[in-house]
Structure 1
Amino acid sequence: MLENLFNLIKEHSTEAVINNPAIPNEKNDAVISDATHSVADGLQGVLAGGGLQAVLSLFNNNNNSSGGNGFLNNPIVSNIISSFTNKLTNNHGIAADQAGGIASSLIPSVLSSLVNRTNDPNNSSFSIGSIISSLAGGGNAPGGSGGLDIGSLVSRFASGSLDANNDGHVGIDDIISKVTGGAQQQQAQSSSGGLMDIISGFMK
């Protein structure tokens, strides 16, 4: 999923990054890498905080009918824009106002495209299951390493194997608990450079 996200951001970076005189050409891939990290880390942080439903809502086309500009009012998107802005200023020495403009232009358009592709049954490059699974540690997420398999979830509801918080009831709170725990584990690994190391491997 991360490589697909990196390539998606690269597709949307022509004006904001590649043709932007504020960004030296030799830094283009590094900036795209930082944008990828900001998106992945931002979504993972929400999942680690128990925000599975907020992420699912972000990927609901009905809630984002206004396209890229509509994302600016979403707190998840605002946090990702802020994170990327900080990376542009701290890692690449870009002035704060320019960095904010780049982030506010690139991130909403990328997320809008990501949501559209995720909801497109004819596009297999992204699925909400694979996104959440990759950010929550694959095997630690419901459905195992293959992602969120709704059919599998239904059968596991029946068997009770999703009672992650041991309250005797299996519901959305149990799914959230599993995803939250997996995302927290992935965050701990990423803090030592894991997530960024993976993304940096896509730079060619």
Structure 2
Amino acid sequence: MTRTDLASVLDGARVLPVLTVRHVSTAGPLADALAAGGARCAEVTYRTPDAEPVLKEMAAHGGLVVGAGTVVTPRQAERAVAAGARFVVSPGFDEEVVAKCRELGVPVVPGIATATELMRALKADLDTVKLFPAEPLGGLRTLRALAAPFPRTRFVPTGGIDASGLAAYLADPAVLAVGGSWMATAAHLERGDYEEIRRLTAEAVERSVT
């Protein structure tokens, strides 16, 4: 699994909405709102009981490349791919999850927080990692410090990033894409505020291409 695998799956998209969806009934309208805002990909986190059916419905939407996030076991990876996940994201580095994703033929993006964890990922022949949680770890300063001795690594920083910090992250050459939940929060979904989700997504996508 190389960075070109993930890059080809993302197809140039540099903003990755990270979604925690409690009810499958919201999956269709959410996918519509994200696609209307110009998003081409999304990550559905395995943090709720409905995560798998949400992923399945959003993957069937057709307008988005959908991946699974917060995947912590090989079995979760297997079920996510069966539900339509095109890529897998983990909060940390786990050899068994990486091996399962390789077996399934999907890109896997493990989370790292230290140079030691990054070296483990590189040893496993992975050159794209998720810096998580990015902002609590020190944000761009930490990302640049990690990138300096490992110049072939590409990062997908996620965690605590909002619209105000998006452009700075995307301007860094080590950043492949940025993950964030501000475009579709739990509060947005509870209110059914899909127009606001569309607006925030469109704003983020516009910032990613300028």
TM-score normalised by structure 2 residue count: 0.29
Q: Which has the higher helix share?
A: 1
Larger Rg: 1
TM-score normalised by structure 1 residue count: 0.30
Q: Which has the higher strand share?
A: 2
